[in-house]
Amino acid sequence: MTGLSVVLVPIIGLAVMALFAVVLKWASSLDTDEAHRKDYGLLREVAKVPSPTAARAVEERLQEVGVRATTVPDPEGDGMRILVFPADREVAIRTLLAD
């Protein structure tokens, strides 16, 4: 190796590492929290209610007909969302519309 390559190879390696660090820092700063707040895996929304008290009433009604439900805050902050599994979705909607 020549004297120039002994100096140049480590400098290029450090530059590449710095570039990776900048790209990783940028990627980690992306707002992925919003996407995660709206994604509840298999669960699907069947109702939106204005308060936690109303959400408990809806959950209790769904439990009476054998539907497992859970409640989460609405991402926009205006109410609560009632979520059920896809297999229970039709029964939950029919039950809530019948009431």
Per-residue model confidence as pLDDT tens digits over 26-43: 877 765 555 445 667 889
The pTM of the full predicted model, rounded to 2 decimals, is 0.60
Tell me the CATH architecture of domain 38-98: 2-Layer Sandwich (3.30)
As a 3-state breakdown, the chain gives helix, strand, coil percent values, each rounded to 5, of 60, 15, 25
Q: Name the residue among 94, 44, 24, 35 with its Cα closest to residue 66.
A: 94
Domain ranges of the chain: 1-30, 38-98
Residue 46 has pLDDT above 80, yes or no: yes
